[in-house]
Amino acid sequence: MAKRKVCRKFRCEEPLYMSGLCRKHFEEADQRHRRFMEAADVLHNGVIDGEYIRPGPLREELQRIQKWWDQVCAAEIAGREHPVLKDETRFGTDWCVAIAQEIIDAEPDLRAGKPGDTEIRRYRRDETWKRFENLERGLMSNGVARPVTRR
């Protein structure tokens, strides 16, 4: 089998750079990975740019999502379904990370005296929180009723 000489991304014909990707796609993947790791770190320790998040609504929201993070990670590690997330347990970490990433983006702006919690950031977090709220109400994350399972 011949070695691939172009990027493995669909319809990209750029030459390889690293890990089967061209330079552009590798840098995009690397940036996504770094952003994910930064969010996971904040979810574990509450520190953004070397400082604990300041008291206020963002800190309260971070503490709220940290509780979900702990529960979802414990379920994932144990290989079981979360009692609320059920068959959507595997998506819980992604939702926690998405909220944490928005908090990470907002906090430095707030520290600098800027309006850190912009409408778009708040909207993105609210849309992700809706998933958890739907699940808590016994629905699927998208708000649709759960199918009835027969035993």
- The pTM (predicted TM-score) of the whole model is 0.86
SS3 assignment for 3-21: CCCECCCCCCCCECCECCE
Per-residue pLDDT, 24: 96
Q: Please, are residues 62 and 53 in contact by the beta-carbon 8 Å criterion?
A: yes
The arithmetic mean of pLDDT across residues 1-30, rounded, is 90
pLDDT mean across residues, the chain: 92
pLDDT, position 148:
78
Domain limits of the chain? 46-136
Nearest to 50 by CA among 102, 125, 108, 98: 108
